[in-house]
Amino acid sequence: MTVFLSFSFVLLLAVTICVLIYLKQQRQTINAALARLDALNGSDSGDASDPYMVLTVRVLDPIGLAKRESRSARVVADHMPAMVSKRVYQQVMKELGEELNARGIEAEMAVEYR
């Protein structure tokens, strides 16, 4: 009986040691992942900049807008829709920039393709 209890105790001790080793490895893995995440966020530099907001404007019907606003677009839009859409966005950006400048608002604008 004592041999069985001794064997059970040794087996339980071995399992406990294996679990502790596994938990230590998991803690190291989690700490390494958190360190990589901090490095990606730039929080280790101490002077991480605040996040900023971006306003996105999407013209839902650029071809329809071009046809409504321009005689030449009525003719060209059906044959070259990509070019007309590009010109619509350029014009919207230009007019929006002029309005922001008139109000004294500094803004950075760019057209993004998604």
DSSP 8-state symbol, 44: G
Burial grade of 66 (CB within 10 A; 0-12, 13-18, 19 or more): buried
Domain regions of the chain by residue span: 2-45, 53-114
* 97: its two tokens: 């920039």
Prediction pTM value? 0.54
pLDDT in tens, 32-70: 888 888 888 765 454 556 788 888 899 999 999 999 998
Q: What percent of the chain has pLDDT over 90?
A: 52
